[in-house]
Each structure stands twice: as C-alpha cells, then as structure tokens.
Structure 1
Amino acid sequence: MAGGAREPGRSVTSKVLAVLGAFDAAHPRLTLTDLARRSGLPLSTAHRLVAELVDAQVLSRAPDGRLRVGMRLWELGQLATGRLHEAARPWLQELFTATGENVHVAVRDGLEVLYVDKVYGRRAVPIVSRTGGRLPMHPTGVGKVLLAHEPDWFVTAYLARELERPTPYTITEPGRLARELDAVRDRGYALTHEEMTLGSCSAAVPVTVDGRVVAALGIVLSSRRSRELPRLIEPLRTTAAAIARGCASLPVS
C-alpha cells in the first residue's frame, strides 16, 4: 500500500494500524471524515488507505455508506482464539442450558480481558461483556481469576496504575485488591458483586492446560441471587476442565 508513505515519521504500517484502531465498540461505523480525525491522518491519506483496505475486504461499507470492519479482518481475528473458541463453545452451550444464565470465556490481552465467546438468553440478566469485547480485569470475575494467576511483577504493575471504578462497589484500593487476588488464587475461584455493573454478580474459575491458566470461565447472575453463586462453582469447574481437555486434544494449527 503506497498511500501517504511520504508523510514524515510514519510508516505505511503505522497508518494502517491507525485506521483500524479508529474503530471500537463505541465507534463500529465511521464516515471517512470521522475515520481520518480519529486516526490522526490527513483526509487524502485516509481516502487512499481505505480504498485499498476495502478492496482487500479488511474494511467494508455499510448500506448507509459508512465504513466498518470487514469480514477478512474478522476471519484473521478468529485465528487468535480459534482453538479456545472451538473447544469452549459446546461446553458453554451445555452450561447455559443447565443454568439459563450468561456464561462466557475470556483471556488476558494486555491489561484487559478479551471475551472469546459468550452464550446468553433473553431471560438472563443484561451484562456488558460481548464476544470480541474487552473490559478491565479487576472489576470482573474472569479478570480477577486471570490477574490472580499472573506473575508477581505483572500484578504489582497492574495495581500501581490508576484503576477504573465502574461502580461504587469496585475494589480499587491496591492493598485490598491484592488480598482479594490472593484469596482467588487460594480458593480457586473469584466472586464479584456489582463491581462491573450494578445489578449483577459473578463467579469465575480458571481454565488450566498443562499446568498453565490459559483462560477463565465465568457466569453472571442478577445480584438479587448472589447467594446462588457458591453452588455454581462446581459446575463451572467441571465445565472448565472439559474445555481444558478440549484445548489439549485439538491439533495446533
């Protein structure tokens, strides 16, 4: 791609990444002008890059003419978590069928949790997680599990940041959060109560393959039913073990 390559200080690759980075959950569709503004690129450069990315199906145009992420990028994204997604999907469905509650599996990506898959129903409590979406680690059950099993240096660095507080109940004090993570690691599961979203609570357990925590499995209920969470730990553990066996048995592609 040759568009705008002569602009000083920025490679073509950095410009393409800036274009793709302009899209997020709050901005899934953008006009060319908005895309140029959010990516920090001149309109002419954005126009040239977008034309090539649309040709390559990395971007596509919605019926209203706005730009959106294309199917080719979605296909590539599936390669990153495809093995886990393939192993988890039937077991997530089975757990949802047994409980009727929101269930999801997530991995750590940087300082956030990335939701690989989710199964939910109309009667389940509304939650903010979505497949392919990201949330902070410390307010979520799956995030607490993943954070608790990171090396000490990572946890120390994470706690040293200014932590988001989505609700008044989110634990952000470093000392208290560190003790909570120790408890999660010791007992083998995490519980949250209205830390990410008011009105919901959650439980989560690790998915361990060859002695390494590769993901976390979680379930979300209405906070009015928080007393039911302890009885869901064993079904979560059973499902997590099945997912782990599935991951171990799938060929590495």
Structure 2
Amino acid sequence: MKIAVIGTGLIGTQVIQRLTEAGHDATGHSRSTGVDLLTGEGLDEALSGAEVVVDVYNSPTFDEAAIDFFRTAETHALAAARKADVRHVVALSIVGVDQVPDVAYYRAKTLQEDLIKANPIPYSIVRAAQFMEFIPSVLDFTTEGDVVRLPSTPVQPISSAEVAAAVAEVAAGAPLQGTRDIAGPEVFPLDELGRITLEATGDNRHVVTDETAGLFGAVKGDVLTAPGGHLGTTHYRDWLRTR
C-alpha cells in the first residue's frame, strides 16, 4: 500500500520505518522535501497515488498562532488528499484534547480533528498521551534556577516508539471513522513524575508543587489519561534506564 506521511520528526520517521518494514511503500514529506503546508506547495506531488495519508506534522509554536497554522495546514492537506483520491486520512492528536479549552495549542489540535471529521474521506484519529521523550522539556519549561514548578495533573506517559507503532497499525488498517486513545501503562501526578525524572538522571533541581504552573496548570482533572484506552507496555522508569 502506498502511504504518504506528512511530518518527518520524532513520530513520522518511526512510522515510516515501521510501515516500510511491514512491506508498505511509505514516504515522508515535509518542508525539507519541498512540501509547504501553509501554501499547499508540493502537496499534490507528495500525495499523488497515495492510498493513505498520515498527518503527524506539528505547529512551530504552541500559542494562539497554532490555531491558524492547523486551520491552514489541514485545509491544504485535505484538499490535496481529495484531489489524489486518498481513501484514508490518519492523524495523530492528544488524549483529552477537546477537554482543555484554556490552552491554545489544544484548541488548535481540536480544530484539526474537526476539519478531518467534517471532510468526506474516511478517517482515523489516534489520540496519544504525553510522550515520555517530552517530559524533560516539560520540566525545563517551568524551571527557575534550581526549582521546577509542576502541578499534580495526572498524566499517563507513553514512549514515542509505541505511539509510532499504534499510528502505523491504524494506517495499515481499515478507517476507524473515529478515535483511538493510546497511553502508557502507568498514571503519575506530573509533579511526582518530575521528581522521578530528576532523581533518575542525577539532576540537582528539585520540584515544587504548583497547581498553576505551565501548560498543564490549565488542565482540569484527569482528562489527559486514557481509562479504557489501548495501553503500551513500556514503564517510565524502565524507559529512563535506557536513555
């Protein structure tokens, strides 16, 4: 099956590898290959002959500008997919994304989902919990000196390898015409996860619980966890030991 993967970052490269190993003709497309989602340039060529399109691209910012980015980018991607007679659109999104209206980036991803759902091409949306690989960046974002301020928001981290495997599996199958939640096997309060991370990496910073800190301070309840979702098998402490 010919599959076009839009986005060649952390997830996209692994999705391409998994699909190729499974015998599919999977190719990656991004600005480096001549595809500009904001103008639509290169999309017709990239999607020509593709049966499936996988959207794993991301906005360059996480602020209000992300809303216009995803509106423009997904509109262009879907128009090109319709022109190419694509039979299945797959997108990577975020667990609980539509339950966090106070965060601009989450509103932007919800808009992307809505555009995909409203288009006539059969679709699948894979909603993933927080990537394990991004936990250190979450800590850095709220660091002041040797203090890391984090809320106790429940999160259910999943490895990028398991995210890529889930996206590749969905891309190779029949359209879900709906969403699939995926997450890791454990739920942690984010502040506890921060302490685990710092201790395991020998980092001298310390965590102070602050329910208003950072992006996750705007999250209410446990909406970023996936009860009943498809769970990976990689435990966070085990993942840390492999880094």
Q: TM-score, normalised by structure 2?
A: 0.27
Between Structure 1 and Structure 2, whose CA radius of gyration is higher? 1
Give the number of the structure with larger relative contact order, counting CA–CA contacts within 8 Å between residues 6 or more apart: 2
Scaled by the length of structure 1, the TM-score of the pair is 0.27
The structure with more helix, counted as a fraction of residues: 1
